[in-house]
Amino acid sequence: MNREYHKWYSPSLGRDMELLVFGHAGTPVIVFPTSMGRFFDYENRNMISIIGDQYEHGQIQAFCVDSVDAESWYNKSVHPSLRAARHEQYDQYLVNEVVPFVRSRNSSPELVATGCSFGGYHSANFALKHPHLVTEFISMGGAFDIHQFLDGYYDDNCFFNCPPDFLPNLNEPALYHMNMVLAAGEYDICRAENERLSGILAAKGINHTLDIWGDGAGHDWPWWQSMVVKYL
Protein backbone atom coordinates (compact mmCIF):
# COMPACT_ATOMS: atom_id res chain seq x y z
CA MET A 1 0.00 0.00 0.00
CA ASN A 2 1.23 3.48 -0.84
CA ARG A 3 1.92 5.51 2.31
CA GLU A 4 3.24 9.07 2.26
CA TYR A 5 4.13 11.58 4.98
CA HIS A 6 3.81 15.28 4.18
CA LYS A 7 4.61 18.39 6.17
CA TRP A 8 4.45 22.05 5.23
CA TYR A 9 4.22 25.47 6.80
CA SER A 10 0.58 26.55 6.84
CA PRO A 11 0.03 30.25 6.11
CA SER A 12 -3.52 29.88 7.41
CA LEU A 13 -2.39 28.62 10.81
CA GLY A 14 1.07 30.13 11.07
CA ARG A 15 2.75 26.84 11.87
CA ASP A 16 3.80 23.52 10.38
CA MET A 17 1.06 20.98 9.68
CA GLU A 18 1.46 17.27 8.99
CA LEU A 19 -0.63 14.66 7.22
CA LEU A 20 -0.50 11.10 5.95
CA VAL A 21 -1.68 9.80 2.58
CA PHE A 22 -2.73 6.20 2.05
CA GLY A 23 -3.44 4.67 -1.34
CA HIS A 24 -2.65 5.86 -4.83
CA ALA A 25 -6.05 6.40 -6.48
CA GLY A 26 -9.81 6.10 -6.04
CA THR A 27 -12.25 8.16 -4.00
CA PRO A 28 -10.36 10.79 -1.99
CA VAL A 29 -11.22 10.86 1.71
CA ILE A 30 -10.19 13.55 4.19
CA VAL A 31 -9.91 11.87 7.60
CA PHE A 32 -10.20 13.97 10.76
CA PRO A 33 -8.77 12.72 14.08
CA THR A 34 -10.67 12.41 17.35
CA SER A 35 -10.61 15.10 20.06
CA MET A 36 -7.16 16.69 20.16
CA GLY A 37 -5.98 13.70 18.16
CA ARG A 38 -3.14 13.43 15.67
CA PHE A 39 -2.88 12.64 12.00
CA PHE A 40 -1.41 9.19 12.70
CA ASP A 41 -4.12 7.98 15.11
CA TYR A 42 -6.41 6.64 12.37
CA GLU A 43 -3.63 4.38 11.11
CA ASN A 44 -2.59 3.34 14.62
CA ARG A 45 -6.16 2.30 15.41
CA ASN A 46 -6.21 -0.07 12.41
CA MET A 47 -8.78 2.01 10.55
CA ILE A 48 -6.58 1.85 7.44
CA SER A 49 -5.46 -1.77 7.59
CA ILE A 50 -8.94 -3.14 8.21
CA ILE A 51 -9.86 -2.18 4.63
CA GLY A 52 -6.31 -2.21 3.30
CA ASP A 53 -7.27 -4.12 0.15
CA GLN A 54 -9.35 -1.16 -1.01
CA TYR A 55 -6.33 1.11 -0.76
CA GLU A 56 -4.11 -1.40 -2.52
CA HIS A 57 -6.62 -1.79 -5.37
CA GLY A 58 -6.97 1.94 -5.95
CA GLN A 59 -10.54 2.25 -4.67
CA ILE A 60 -9.83 4.73 -1.86
CA GLN A 61 -7.17 7.31 -1.13
CA ALA A 62 -7.13 8.70 2.42
CA PHE A 63 -5.65 12.03 3.50
CA CYS A 64 -5.34 11.92 7.30
CA VAL A 65 -5.03 15.49 8.57
CA ASP A 66 -3.85 16.79 11.93
CA SER A 67 -6.05 18.76 14.34
CA VAL A 68 -5.62 22.05 16.19
CA ASP A 69 -8.33 21.25 18.75
CA ALA A 70 -5.97 21.95 21.64
CA GLU A 71 -5.52 25.47 20.23
CA SER A 72 -9.19 26.02 19.39
CA TRP A 73 -12.28 24.52 21.05
CA TYR A 74 -10.37 22.74 23.83
CA ASN A 75 -8.08 25.65 24.69
CA LYS A 76 -9.50 26.77 28.02
CA SER A 77 -6.60 29.17 28.57
CA VAL A 78 -7.96 31.71 26.05
CA HIS A 79 -11.26 33.52 25.55
CA PRO A 80 -13.92 31.57 23.62
CA SER A 81 -13.76 34.16 20.83
CA LEU A 82 -10.13 33.17 20.25
CA ARG A 83 -11.02 29.48 20.33
CA ALA A 84 -13.59 30.01 17.59
CA ALA A 85 -11.26 32.23 15.59
CA ARG A 86 -8.53 29.59 15.72
CA HIS A 87 -10.94 26.99 14.42
CA GLU A 88 -11.88 29.32 11.58
CA GLN A 89 -8.19 29.51 10.66
CA TYR A 90 -8.17 25.70 10.64
CA ASP A 91 -11.13 25.78 8.27
CA GLN A 92 -9.16 28.07 5.97
CA TYR A 93 -6.23 25.64 6.13
CA LEU A 94 -8.53 22.88 4.97
CA VAL A 95 -10.13 24.90 2.17
CA ASN A 96 -7.05 26.71 0.88
CA GLU A 97 -4.33 24.14 1.51
CA VAL A 98 -5.60 20.60 2.10
CA VAL A 99 -8.29 20.48 -0.58
CA PRO A 100 -5.95 21.86 -3.30
CA PHE A 101 -3.34 19.31 -2.18
CA VAL A 102 -5.91 16.52 -2.51
CA ARG A 103 -6.94 17.77 -5.94
CA SER A 104 -3.31 17.90 -7.06
CA ARG A 105 -2.94 14.21 -6.19
CA ASN A 106 -6.35 12.87 -7.17
CA SER A 107 -8.52 13.79 -10.16
CA SER A 108 -11.76 12.28 -8.84
CA PRO A 109 -14.69 14.72 -8.76
CA GLU A 110 -15.71 13.24 -5.42
CA LEU A 111 -14.48 14.22 -1.98
CA VAL A 112 -15.46 12.45 1.23
CA ALA A 113 -14.96 13.77 4.76
CA THR A 114 -14.97 11.35 7.67
CA GLY A 115 -13.96 11.02 11.30
CA CYS A 116 -14.79 9.42 14.62
CA SER A 117 -16.04 11.18 17.78
CA PHE A 118 -14.92 14.82 17.49
CA GLY A 119 -13.57 13.91 14.08
CA GLY A 120 -17.19 13.21 13.23
CA TYR A 121 -17.98 16.80 14.18
CA HIS A 122 -15.19 18.05 11.92
CA SER A 123 -16.34 15.94 8.99
CA ALA A 124 -19.98 17.06 9.24
CA ASN A 125 -19.15 20.70 9.96
CA PHE A 126 -16.68 20.92 7.09
CA ALA A 127 -19.00 19.21 4.63
CA LEU A 128 -22.09 21.23 5.56
CA LYS A 129 -20.12 24.50 5.41
CA HIS A 130 -18.59 23.64 2.06
CA PRO A 131 -21.07 21.53 0.08
CA HIS A 132 -19.51 22.80 -3.15
CA LEU A 133 -16.28 21.01 -2.15
CA VAL A 134 -17.51 17.87 -0.37
CA THR A 135 -19.73 15.22 -1.95
CA GLU A 136 -20.15 12.95 1.10
CA PHE A 137 -19.48 12.84 4.82
CA ILE A 138 -19.42 9.86 7.15
CA SER A 139 -19.57 10.74 10.83
CA MET A 140 -18.97 7.92 13.31
CA GLY A 141 -19.98 8.74 16.87
CA GLY A 142 -19.88 12.47 16.19
CA ALA A 143 -20.97 15.31 18.47
CA PHE A 144 -21.99 18.49 16.67
CA ASP A 145 -22.97 21.16 19.22
CA ILE A 146 -19.97 23.33 20.18
CA HIS A 147 -21.76 25.39 22.86
CA GLN A 148 -20.03 23.24 25.49
CA PHE A 149 -16.74 24.95 24.58
CA LEU A 150 -17.99 28.55 24.68
CA ASP A 151 -18.69 29.34 28.36
CA GLY A 152 -21.84 31.20 27.31
CA TYR A 153 -20.07 33.27 24.65
CA TYR A 154 -21.34 33.37 21.05
CA ASP A 155 -20.37 35.13 17.82
CA ASP A 156 -20.52 34.51 14.07
CA ASN A 157 -17.50 32.20 14.12
CA CYS A 158 -19.27 30.10 16.74
CA PHE A 159 -22.58 30.12 14.85
CA PHE A 160 -21.10 29.12 11.50
CA ASN A 161 -19.21 26.22 13.07
CA CYS A 162 -22.16 24.76 14.98
CA PRO A 163 -24.20 22.63 12.54
CA PRO A 164 -27.34 22.40 14.74
CA ASP A 165 -27.45 26.21 14.68
CA PHE A 166 -26.53 27.16 11.12
CA LEU A 167 -28.07 24.19 9.29
CA PRO A 168 -31.77 25.11 9.77
CA ASN A 169 -31.30 28.38 7.88
CA LEU A 170 -28.89 27.06 5.27
CA ASN A 171 -30.29 27.17 1.75
CA GLU A 172 -27.74 25.46 -0.44
CA PRO A 173 -28.91 23.23 -3.33
CA ALA A 174 -25.71 21.15 -3.19
CA LEU A 175 -26.76 19.78 0.20
CA TYR A 176 -29.55 17.86 -1.47
CA HIS A 177 -27.04 15.98 -3.61
CA MET A 178 -24.57 15.14 -0.85
CA ASN A 179 -24.38 11.67 0.67
CA MET A 180 -24.57 11.96 4.46
CA VAL A 181 -24.06 9.26 7.07
CA LEU A 182 -24.63 9.72 10.79
CA ALA A 183 -23.55 6.49 12.49
CA ALA A 184 -23.60 5.90 16.24
CA GLY A 185 -23.98 3.05 18.69
CA GLU A 186 -27.14 2.48 20.70
CA TYR A 187 -25.15 3.23 23.87
CA ASP A 188 -23.00 5.92 22.29
CA ILE A 189 -22.70 9.04 24.45
CA CYS A 190 -23.25 11.02 21.24
CA ARG A 191 -26.33 9.15 20.06
CA ALA A 192 -28.72 11.99 20.93
CA GLU A 193 -26.57 14.46 18.98
CA ASN A 194 -26.84 12.28 15.90
CA GLU A 195 -30.59 11.94 16.27
CA ARG A 196 -30.92 15.69 16.72
CA LEU A 197 -28.92 16.50 13.59
CA SER A 198 -30.85 13.86 11.68
CA GLY A 199 -34.08 15.56 12.72
CA ILE A 200 -32.84 18.91 11.40
CA LEU A 201 -31.85 17.33 8.09
CA ALA A 202 -35.19 15.53 7.83
CA ALA A 203 -37.10 18.75 8.51
CA LYS A 204 -35.30 20.32 5.56
CA GLY A 205 -36.05 17.34 3.34
CA ILE A 206 -32.37 16.48 2.98
CA ASN A 207 -31.76 12.81 2.30
CA HIS A 208 -29.31 11.18 4.71
CA THR A 209 -28.66 7.97 6.65
CA LEU A 210 -29.04 7.77 10.42
CA ASP A 211 -27.55 4.44 11.44
CA ILE A 212 -27.90 3.51 15.12
CA TRP A 213 -25.97 0.30 15.74
CA GLY A 214 -27.36 -2.30 18.15
CA ASP A 215 -25.71 -5.27 19.89
CA GLY A 216 -24.42 -3.07 22.67
CA ALA A 217 -22.49 -0.73 20.37
CA GLY A 218 -20.96 2.25 22.12
CA HIS A 219 -18.42 5.02 21.60
CA ASP A 220 -15.09 3.37 20.86
CA TRP A 221 -12.74 2.17 18.16
CA PRO A 222 -13.96 -1.45 17.79
CA TRP A 223 -17.36 -0.20 16.61
CA TRP A 224 -15.82 2.50 14.42
CA GLN A 225 -13.69 -0.18 12.77
CA SER A 226 -16.86 -2.06 11.88
CA MET A 227 -18.47 1.15 10.64
CA VAL A 228 -15.56 1.98 8.35
CA VAL A 229 -15.82 -1.49 6.82
CA LYS A 230 -19.50 -0.83 6.09
CA TYR A 231 -19.25 2.70 4.78
CA LEU A 232 -15.83 2.89 3.08
Predicted local confidence at residue 143, as pLDDT: 95
What is the Cα–Cα distance from 56 to 34, expressed in whole angstroms?
25
Asked if residue 17 lies in contact with residue 92, where contact means CB atoms within 8 angstroms, the answer is no
Could you tell me the residue range of the domain that residue 27 belongs to? 3-231
Predicted local confidence at residue 66, as pLDDT: 98
With cut-offs at 50, 70 and 90, classify the pLDDT of residue 86. very high
**Mean pLDDT across the stretch 126-140?**
98
**Mean pLDDT across the stretch 103-132?**
98
From the list 116, 100, 93, the residue with the least C-alpha distance to 232 is 116
Pairing of strands 112-116, 136-140: parallel
Helix runs in the chain, H state only: 41-44, 52-56, 80-93, 99-105, 118-129, 156-159, 163-166, 191-203, 221-231
Tell me the residue type at 150.
L
pLDDT tens for each residue of 17-29:
999 999 999 999 9
Predicted local confidence at residue 191, as pLDDT: 98
Predicted local confidence at residue 220, as pLDDT: 97
Predicted local confidence at residue 214, as pLDDT: 96
The total number of structural domains that make up the chain: 1
With cut-offs at 50, 70 and 90, classify the pLDDT of residue 136. very high
Predicted local confidence at residue 7, as pLDDT: 98
pLDDT tens for each residue of 144-197:
999 999 999 999 999 999 999 999 999 999 999 999 999 999 999 999 999 999
Q: Can you give the CATH number for the domain in which 193 is found?
A: 3.40.50.1820
Q: Buried (b) or exposed (e) across 74-113, using 16+ Cβ within 10 A?
A: ebeeeebeebbbbbbbbbebbeebbbebbeebbeeeebbb
With cut-offs at 50, 70 and 90, classify the pLDDT of residue 48. very high
pLDDT tens for each residue of 114-127:
999 999 999 999 99
What's the pTM?
A: 0.97
